[in-house]
Amino acid sequence: MLLPTTCPVCAAPGPAPCAGCAGDMRPAPALPPPAGVESCAALLAYAGAGRELVARLKYRNARASVRFLARGMADVVTEEVDVVTWAPTTPARLRARGFDQAGLRGSRSGEAVTCGFVPGLARGWGGVVALCR
Ligand SMILES: [Zn+2]
């Protein structure tokens, strides 16, 4: 069964996100890397339409946006990437949500940058990590 795609932010039929909501999203500000990490980059500011898109993936299972987010994350990585991985969600959240949204974005980002994808970081912060040379 095929279901029509709708924008996770505004529910308009069509791509996820729709052009209007994608245009309302702002790039993430430059952030200092966490301790032990050489550099980091983020795709979207966690505000407005960008926040809604990510929140609806995380909390409402709106997976239609995964391709958009993964492609965007692959595009913000400017260094050569050896492997992509992610910090997994907790077992309780995995049971409650039924999927690990960071793992889903990570595996798709790994495909987008045509490098390996390796699960296995320890839990610490939720996100996707590209390991660069
Ligand atoms: Zn929209």
CA 112 to ligand 1 centroid distance, Å: 23
CA 2 to ligand 1 centroid distance, Å: 20
CA 53 to ligand 1 centroid distance, Å: 9
- Residue 52's pLDDT is what? 95
User: Helices marked H in the chain — which ranges?
Assistant: 19-24, 48-60, 66-76, 91-97, 101-112
Where are the domains positioned within the chain? 19-132
Burial of 94 (0-12, 13-18, 19+ CB in 10 A): middle
Reported pTM: 0.74
Band (26; pLDDT cuts 50, 70, 90) = very high
pLDDT by residue (tens digit) across 107-117? 777 666 665 66
Q: Which residues of 96-110 are buried (b: 16+ CB within 10 A; e: fewer)?
A: eeeebbbbbbbbbbb
| Whole-number average pLDDT of the chain | 81
- Residue 133's pLDDT is what? 44
CA 50 to ligand 1 centroid distance, Å: 11
CA 117 to ligand 1 centroid distance, Å: 30
Q: Which residues surround ligand 1, an ion (CB under 5 A)?
A: 7, 9-10, 12, 18, 21
- Residue 119's pLDDT is what? 61
pLDDT by residue (tens digit) across 34-55? 788 777 788 899 999 999 999 9
